[in-house]
Amino acid sequence: MKPIKQAKKYAKTLINVVGIDETEKALTELMLIENLMSKSKGFKSLLVNPGFSQADKENALKLIAAKIMLSEKMVKYVTYLIEMRAIIALSQIIRLATAIYLEKKKRAKATVLTPIEISKSQEDRIKASLKKLIEKDVDIEIVIDKTLLGGVLVKVGSTMYDSSIKGQLRLLKDELIKG
């Protein structure tokens, strides 16, 4: 079975290895490796390419880990992913591990698209409304989207809440068409 299909298994392994309390820190460290892989084709190729020996990959990882201050657990975990040839699915593993972590912490992550900057009080009202709606604490990420005419779009997991002007006009159009 391909490592990408087993990403959930690797995500669960990460949480089991570091523990729920250290998962957030571990995810941050893994994102550093993911960033390096996306910015440096050479580094990604070194980790992914089976033409390089495992020892070469481990030595390169240890050098990088020392520079970016990666914990020993994360060095071992990334080495494990390299050995299992699952390092190519790192971004998917991070995404799934984040979802599992938030679920275990009874938290949710929401992305809020808005056409303008919003104040701290507006952000707090959105958090409170979402908490009431989904019955979990919510971490929100604000994204400015100039293509929106007004209102907000909120994405929590795979659910989208659309209170944008465009969304409201679409609903009105649908109602008018129905008669």
Q: Give the number of domains in the chain.
A: 2
Main-chain phi, psi angles of 45, to 5 degrees: -60, -40
Q: Give residue 39's pLDDT.
A: 94
- Same structural domain, 27 and 94: yes
Amino acid at 63: L
> In which residue ranges of the chain is pLDDT below 50?
1
Q: Give residue 2's pLDDT.
A: 52
Q: Give residue 1's pLDDT.
A: 43
**Could you tell me if residue 144 is inside a domain?**
yes
Last residue of a domain, one of 62, 80, 102: 102
- Same structural domain, 136 and 169: yes
**Could you tell me if residue 98 is inside a domain?**
yes
pLDDT tens-digit readout, 72-99: 999 999 999 999 989 999 999 999 998 8
What is the reported pTM?
0.67
Q: Give residue 166's pLDDT.
A: 85
CA distance 50 to 58: 13
Count Cβ atoms within 10 A of the Cβ of residue 154 and give its class: 0-12 exposed, 13-18 middle, 19 or more buried: buried
Domain that holds residue 49: 7-102
Last residue of a domain, one of 47, 72, 102: 102
- Token duo for residue 143: 């994204």
**Could you tell me if residue 170 is inside a domain?**
yes
